[in-house]
A = this chain, B = another copy of it.
C-alpha cells in the first residue's frame, strides 16, 4: 500500500468518525446528555471507599453458611438502602459439605502423612486465624475411603488420558494425582472416574503458580509450598447450582433429590494438596518418565507410575443445608420499569477472599453508590437497575443459579442484560459476553481512561494485543463458565457480559488462605485505581443500557464473530480428516513402530475411523441469509423512529438473545440452552462456541454432529426471521 493511499484512507476514516459522534443507541441530543451523565457518574467514584469496604468484608473467612457471610450480606443490604435502593435479601437453602475427615497418607514404599495445612506468614495476620480458616478441600467430592497405587496423570485432561493410553498405562483401580491448571479442576476427578480410578489428588505444581513463576508469599505474590487451592468439583458442565434442586429454586420447601442421586457430586473422593505434600508421593513413583510437556517444577524426575507409591485417601463430609443469602437491590426505572438492567458480583469467599470476590464486590458497590447519588440529584435511570450480591458462588454458582431458576419466567421477560464482575486487579480490560454487545462495550472502553497510562482502556488493551503480535481490534471473548453470568446467559438466554481488569496482578493466592487484604494491597491493585476503572466501565455500560433510546445491540460484529466460530468448526473437521488419513497411512506402513525406541514401552497404534464429510451448508446458508438481514437492520436511523416504533423495537431487542437458545438444551445436559456459548463438557470453565456441533465433532459422534448442525441452522434461521421482524421498516 502506498503512502498516498494511506493518507487518503486516514482522511476517510477520521472524516467518518467526526461525522458520526452519536453513541450507539442514542440520538444526538441524548448522546450529549448521556455523556454528561457518565462524566458526572465517574467524578463521584472514590477509591477510598473500595479500600475501606474491602478491609471490612475480608476481615474474616466468609464461605456460605458462616456467620460472617450473613453479616456481610446484611451490611451490603444496609449500604444499598442508604444509597436509595429497594434492597432485600433472598435466601435459598443449599447443600454444602464441610470437611470432617481428611486423610492422605503414603503407605508404600515408604510412609508419609500429608500435613494438609498452609502455614501463616510474617506480615499477614489474617493467615494466622487458625481454626477459623476453612480446611482445604474440594467441595462436592463424595465421601470415600480408598487405598491404591498412585498414577501421575499430568493435568488429568482428555489429552493426558490419550497419552497414557499410547503409553499403555491404565488408571483402573488406582488413585490418580493431577496438577492443578490445564482445565477447570472438576474435570480431573470426573475424567479419572470415567477411566476407572478410585480416588484423585490435585496439587499445585510450583511451575503453575509457585516458585517457578516468581517469588512466593510473603516475599512475592506466588504460592509457597504449603498453599492449597480450595474449590468446587461439582459437575458444573452438567448443571451448576444446588446439587439437590436441578433447574428450580432451592427454596425452603422445594422438593429435593436424595444426595445419593445427585448427579453432580463426584463419583470418587478427591482432595487438593500442597506441593510440599505432593513431593514425597511423586518422588516415590517409578515406571516411565513423563513426557516433556508434563514436567512440573519440583526438583525430581517425574515418573508416571503406577506405584510403587501406594496412597490411602479418606474423606468424610458434614453434608448440611446452609442458607445462601443473595442481596438484590433495585432502583426502579422512570420510563421503562419492566426493562431490567442487572449487575452482579458474589460476596461469598473460600477464605477471606480479598481478591476473589471482594475486589469486584467493592467496585460494584461504589458504582451503585454513585448511581444512587445521581438518582438523588434527579438523574434516575430510564430503565430499572438491579444490583445483586450473590452468595454461594464458590461451591458452584449456587446463589445466582437458584435465584435465576426461581425467577426464570419473569427474568426472561424483563431483563435487558446481566453484567457480571468478580475478582479484579491491575492491568488490562478483559471483557467477555454476548457479541451483540461488543460494539457498545468497545465504545465504552474507548471512553474509560486507564489509571496508569492516561489513554483509554481500549487503547491500552489494543497496545497489548499488538505487542503480543495480534490485531488491535477490541473484542469480547466468548463466555464459558466460572462466575455468576452462567445461569443468565447459558440457562435463561439473557444477554450477558463479564468484566474485569488484570494481567499485571499475577499470584498464587487464588482460593488459599493467602488471598487477604495485605496480599491484595501489595500485589493486586494497591491504590484501587483499577477498582475504580471497573466501576467506571461497568457503570457506564449499565447506564447506557438503562438510558438508551434504542437498546445498544449491534449485529454486524455479532455476525462477523459467529462466522469465525463456524469456520473454526469446519476447519476442525477438515483437520481431523487430514490427520486421520495421515495417521492411517502411517499405521499401514508401520511407520510408528519403525520410529519407536524398542527399549521403551510401545503400544502399536491402530487405524482410526475415517472422518466423514458433514453437510455444513444449512449453517452456511443461514449465516449468508443473516448477513443480508443484519445489513438492512443496521441501516435503521433511530432518530427517525416514532416513539411507538422505538418501544416496539426495544421490546424485541431485549429478548433477542433468547432466540439463540433451544428449550431442550444441549445433548446430555439440557440445563445448558444457549446454542452459541457453553462451558465445555470436558473443559469445565473453558468455552465451546457452537457447542452442540463442536463437541459432537470433537467426540467423533457424526450422527449427532449432523443433527446439531441442522438444529443450529434452525436456530440461526429463527434468529434471521427475528431480525427481519425487528426491523421497524418491515
Contacts and interface: CB of A to CB of B under 8 A. Distances in A.
A206 interface: yes
A365 interface: no
Nearest to A275: B299
A215 interface: yes
A202 interface: no
B299 A459 contact: no
A212 B295 contact: yes
Contact of A211 (B300, B463, B593, B594): B300
A519 to B, nearest CB: 15
A594 B453 contact: yes
Contact of A467 (B299, B464, B591): B591
B215 A594 contact: no
Nearest to A286: B215
Interface string A599-635: 1000000000000000000000000000000000000
A595 B463 CA distance: 5
B301 A298 contact: no
A215 B206 CA distance: 20
Interface residues of A, number: 38
A459 B488 CA distance: 58
Interface in A441-461: 452-453, 455, 459-460
A52 interface: no
Contact of A216 (B222, B301, B593): B301
A299 B206 contact: yes
Nearest to A300: B211
A558 interface: no
A595 B206 CA distance: 27
From A297, A298, A301, A463, name the one whose CB has the most chain B CB atoms within 10 angstroms: A301
A427 B597 contact: yes
B211 A301 contact: yes
Contacts of A301: 211-216, 220, 222
A215 B287 CA distance: 11
Interface string A169-210: 000000000000000000000000000000000000010000
A597 B467 CA distance: 12
A592 interface: yes
B452 A598 contact: yes
Interface in A566-591: 586, 590-591
Contact of A594 (B214, B298, B455, B586): B455
Contacts of A206: 299
A376 interface: no
Contacts of A452: 598
A504 interface: yes
From A206, A463, A592, name the one whose CB has the most chain B CB atoms within 10 angstroms: A463
A591 B593 CA distance: 51
A466 interface: yes
Interface in A125-161: none
Contacts of A463: 590-592, 594-595
B215 A289 contact: yes
Given A211-B300, A453-B594, A586 B216 contact: no
Interface in A248-282: none
B460 A594 contact: yes
Contacts of A297: 297, 299
B466 A591 contact: yes
Interface in A289-314: 289, 295, 297-301
Nearest to A453: B594
Given A427-B597, A599-B504, A467 B212 contact: no
A213 B295 CA distance: 9
A152 to B, nearest CB: 15
From A206, A460, A595, name the one whose CB has the most chain B CB atoms within 10 angstroms: A595
Nearest to A290: B214
A466 B597 contact: no
A485 to B, nearest CB: 28
From A206, A212, A220, A593, name the one whose CB has the most chain B CB atoms within 10 angstroms: A212
A283 B357 CA distance: 35
Contacts of A466: 586, 591, 595
Nearest to A582: B466
Contact of A592 (B299, B300, B467, B592): B467
A467 B289 CA distance: 20
Nearest to A600: B504
Nearest to A592: B467
A695 to B, nearest CB: 27
A597 B426 CA distance: 9
Contacts of A594: 453, 455, 459-460, 463-464
Given A214-B289, A301-B220, A597 B504 contact: yes
Interface of A: 206, 211-216, 220, 222, 289, 295, 297-301, 426-427, 452-453, 455, 459-460, 463-464, 466-467, 504, 586, 590-595, 597-599
A-B pairs, top 4 by smallest CB distance, nearest first, are A463-B594, A299-B299, A463-B595, A467-B595
